[in-house]
Structures are given as C-alpha cells and as structure tokens.
Structure 1
C-alpha cells in the first residue's frame, strides 16, 4: 500500500487585496505554523429556515469535538473558492447540486487558525438533494435547530461551539436583513 500524499493548501496574503494567493504549503505545516490560508464555510438551511448544526469528530485537526453550523474546509492549492465549497459540501454532508449563494468574505485569526473565510448559504431540499450523509472522519452527529434556538444557544459562552463559527455567525447576523420571525433572510 502506497502512502497517501499530504494535502497541499493555498496560502493567502493578509493585505489590502483579500484573496491573493502567495504560495502553497503542506497542510501539516500550515497548521503547525498557523499560516494564513483560506477556507470555505457553508450555512445549510431548510425550507423552514432551520439551520443544520453538527458536532465535529474528536479526530479533527482543529477544534475537535466542538459544535459548528458551518460546513466547509481548507481550500486546496489551485482550487477556486466556489469549487472548494461545492467539494466540501459533498464530502462532509453528502450534498450535491445545491445552489451556493455568497454571503461574505472575512478574515478570522486566533491562536489555532488564520484564514480568509469564503462564506456561502444554501437551502437544503431533501427531494432535490437526497439525504444528509456525514463523512465519518469529520462529522460525528448533526441536527436541525430553529434560528431563535440557535441564537439563544450561541449567546451562552459555555456552549461548546467552535470559536471561528461563533465569530462568523455574529457577523452574519449583523449584516443580514431580518424576516418577520427575526431570522435572517
């Protein structure tokens, strides 16, 4: 059995030109040195406006075992953000053919990660997209939450939620128009 080649990711400049690729790196080096890279984030909603929430596996290289609402991952070297988002949606939750709407792009940096997030939103239709199927190595469990219950949980700092996802949702909530029920869009 041949060894699997390590994933090569794109490195991004943290300057006035967001999205400028400046090199590549092995994923392990990017994590070890907290190098600036890019990642996709997709918010999955159903027809009722509920949000798909999932718990990350304990084997994840970043924020293992924590809860998140953003499906996505690191953009590979040579990969366009939209193609990466479509790939990640297929890999992590088994969904293909979803229309991804860009919602924002922003940097997130902490002691563990440093990336430019390309963020999208999509509507899940089980008749059109089939069942949600978790990638066993990345998603331990998943469930739907109404928007108001999700935001109430997010306001509890003790809820074991990924810090980058919490930050992205705060910005998402601030920029989105509200419906009568208080849920964005």
Structure 2
C-alpha cells in the first residue's frame, strides 16, 4: 500500500466499526488516526501457528515479530475482503475460509486501530497455495507450536508488535477458556 492510498477512518467510540471518513495512509500514521486493520491467525492441522518477522522497512514497528497476517482496511473496503486480500498478499495463501474471532480497539502512541481478527486453517500448498512471503513486508516466518509461540512472546530478544501481542494474548486466553469449558462438560 502506498503512503497516499486512502484508508478508511473509523469512529473510535463505536466498537462495531462505523466508517466516518478516509485519509491517506501517510496521514493515518503521522496523526495516529483511528482506522481498522485486519488480523488473520494462520493455523495448520497440527495446531501450529504461522509467525513471521516484519521487514525493517515497515512503516510501524519494523523488524518485530507477529502471529497475524493483515493490514489496514482501505477506503470503501469490507474488512472481510481486506483480511482475505492481506493474507494472500503477505503469505500467498488463498481460497481459505476465515472464521471471525473478535473485533477490538487497540491504541498506543503509534497505532489506533479497530482490530478485526480471524483464524484460518491452512491445509497445505495443494489446497491453499504455498506460504510465499511478500518481500516488502515479511522478512521470514515459521510454524510454531503453542508452547513455542508463548516462548516467543516471552523473549525480549524477539519483540512482538504490540497490537499483535494484545490480539494473541486475547486469542490464547479465549482458547484456554473454551478448552476448560469444553473439558468440563
């Protein structure tokens, strides 16, 4: 996405995601405007999660690790379509079902976004295409077990992007709660 491409601006007081305008990406970043961003957690049949390191040229939190493929929602774009587009652009994955997880606001001094999170299960290159990194956005990636993902989150030598960390913590907490509830039946 270019610095001048239009990004949808969202009402920060609306948890459901009401679009109130648009602005060039450069202004969204410079002024930390409230926007939506998609996040897709890619899993496989072994229960692993695909994590990747962002390139050093990313406009926000370069070089950090992330467990989510995604990006900003363009002006006029539906978040579901944006999620599928971003997953294909960043990791080369296509024709995959996206299961909605949650929508939640995240804000720090560099990001003010309504995260629209999904999970998708990759069933191999024959079905969804091989994992192919977009060179401008992804430096490297790997499949990690849940234990290895937790180890990554605790490793100060491999920092995670803050919004991705917050979303991952929420996902892991909700997953553990579901497992406890399902195990107690």
In the TM superposition, what is the alpha-carbon distance from 1:170 to its structure 2 partner?
Answer: 1.1
1:96 equivalent among 86, 94, 97: 94
Partner of 1:178: 179
1:126-170 Cα offsets, whole Å, 9 max, x none, are: 131121111110001010100111113213455311111111111
Unaligned runs of 5+ in 1: 180-185
Higher helix proportion (structure 1 or 2)? 2
In the TM superposition, what is the alpha-carbon distance from 1:18 to its structure 2 partner?
Answer: 2.5
Matching of residue 115 in structure 1 with residue 110 in structure 2: no
Map 1:38-57 onto structure 2 (within 5 A): 38-57=36-55
Matching of residue 159 in structure 1 with residue 163 in structure 2: no
Instruction: Decide whether aligned partners of structure 1 residues 10 and 16 sit closer, same or farther in structure 2, where only a CA change above 3 A counts.
Output: closer
Aligned residues: 177
TM-score, normalised to structure 1, is 0.91
Quote the Cα distance in structure 1 between the aligned partners of 2:15 and 2:67: 28
In the TM superposition, what is the alpha-carbon distance from 1:172 to its structure 2 partner?
Answer: 1.2
In the TM superposition, what is the alpha-carbon distance from 1:17 to its structure 2 partner?
Answer: 4.8
Partner of 2:69: 71
Matching of residue 31 in structure 1 with residue 25 in structure 2: no
Quote the Cα distance in structure 2 between the aligned partners of 1:123 and 1:17: 27
After the TM superposition, which parts of structure 1 deviate over 6 Å for at least 4 consecutive aligned residues? none
SS of equivalent to 2:179:
coil
Quote the Cα distance in structure 2 between the aligned partners of 1:77 and 1:86: 16
Quote the Cα distance in structure 2 between the aligned partners of 1:16 and 1:83: 21
Quote the Cα distance in structure 2 between the aligned partners of 1:110 and 1:17: 17
Instruction: Decide whether aligned partners of structure 1 residues 46 and 25 sit closer, same or farther in structure 2, where only a CA change above 3 A counts.
Output: same
Quote the Cα distance in structure 1 between the aligned partners of 2:8 and 2:135: 25
TM-score, normalised to structure 2, is 0.91
